[in-house]
Amino acid sequence: MVASYHPYPINYPPLDGSLFLPELLEFNARHNPDIIFFVYDRPESDSPVSISHLEFYQACHRAAQEIRRSRAGTDKEVVALMANSDTLLYQTVFMGIIFAGLVPFPISPRNSAAAVINMMEKTNCHRLITTHHSLCSLVDGIKAGFVSKGAETVQPQIDEIPALKDLYPALIGGSQNEAFVPYPGSTVRSSENDTLLYMHSSGSTGFPKPIPMTNLSAIYWCLTCKFPKHPQRKS
């Protein structure tokens, strides 16, 4: 799977800080709905499947609903994402966590159970979304590590990652707009200094360290991107 460059003109969103990352996705869904965002190599298909900006945006809403039904619970809770999955599913769930009003923390499954526990504790994270079938030993180690800390330690909620077929119904022969209901948004807009996500360091000198990234940081990333020129456009 690769992100795809479309040969036709694209309506680029403003990168002046007026739109944050989830709002950039909404802009593209409205102004570039048919532009290809991903090309998905489905094993049972003879040809690649294209995923548009609109389809990705709608799938993120479905992921948000799977992760946090009707915005139940508290906003801005940190949710760790540690999974072996294809890029399309991983990025959809990652953005789904943000759309759900939560803070994603993608964690590499190459970390030890002790390192994952350490990072979850440092970010006050009590929920982990994962792929049990491929990471069962690591997940079992994380569960055991939290249990060993005693009854005073909050035990994490560990959930299976949403299924691709539930986020992209068109991939199994349905209509992409089938049963699509936008996820309810927050009544309060985030500020530029609110934490959008966590990353972590390599851990080459000890346990990896959580690194908070703000809404403004994400905009700076967009500003540093080099947009490809149209192949037929003069310099």
pLDDT at 231: 47
- Express as a percent the part of the chain with pLDDT over 90: 70
Whole-number Å distance between alpha carbons of 44 and 36: 21
pLDDT at 171: 83
125: containing domain: 2-223
If you search the block for the tokens 């908070």, which residue do you land on? Answer: 212
pLDDT classification of 6: cutoffs 50, 70, 90: low
pLDDT classification of 40: cutoffs 50, 70, 90: confident
| Residue 92 forms part of a structural domain | yes
Ordered alpha helix ranges (H), the chain: 21-31, 53-67, 87-99, 113-122, 132-148, 164-167, 215-223
- Whole-prediction pTM value? 0.89
If you search the block for the tokens 């986020």, which residue do you land on? Answer: 167
Contacts for 212 with CB less than 8 Å, ≥ 6 apart = 195, 197, 198
| Residue 230 forms part of a structural domain | no
If you search the block for the tokens 């934490």, which residue do you land on? Answer: 195
| Residue 229 forms part of a structural domain | no
How many alpha carbons fall within 13 Å on the CB side of residue 57?
21
- In 3D space, the residue among 26, 21, 35, 96 whose CA is nearest the CA of residue 66 turns out to be 96
| Residue 62 forms part of a structural domain | yes
What does DSSP assign to residue 158? E
pLDDT classification of 232: cutoffs 50, 70, 90: very low
- Identify the CATH number of the domain in which residue 47 sits: 3.40.50.12780
Please write the tens of the pLDDT for every residue from 13-39.
988 889 999 999 999 999 999 999 999
| Residue 234 forms part of a structural domain | no
| Residue 117 forms part of a structural domain | yes
Please write the tens of the pLDDT for every residue from 170-223.
887 655 556 789 999 998 999 999 999 999 998 888 899 999 999 999 988 877
pLDDT classification of 235: cutoffs 50, 70, 90: very low
Backbone angles phi, psi at 7, to 5 degrees: -75, -10
Q: What is the average pLDDT value for the chain, to the nearest integer?
A: 89
| Residue 235 forms part of a structural domain | no
In three-state secondary structure terms, 217 is helix
Average pLDDT score over residue span 37-57:
87
Contacts for 59 with CB less than 8 Å, ≥ 6 apart = 51, 92, 96, 167, 168
> What's the number of domains the chain is made of?
1
Please write the tens of the pLDDT for every residue from 75-100.
999 999 999 999 999 999 999 999 99
| Residue 231 forms part of a structural domain | no
pLDDT at 47: 82
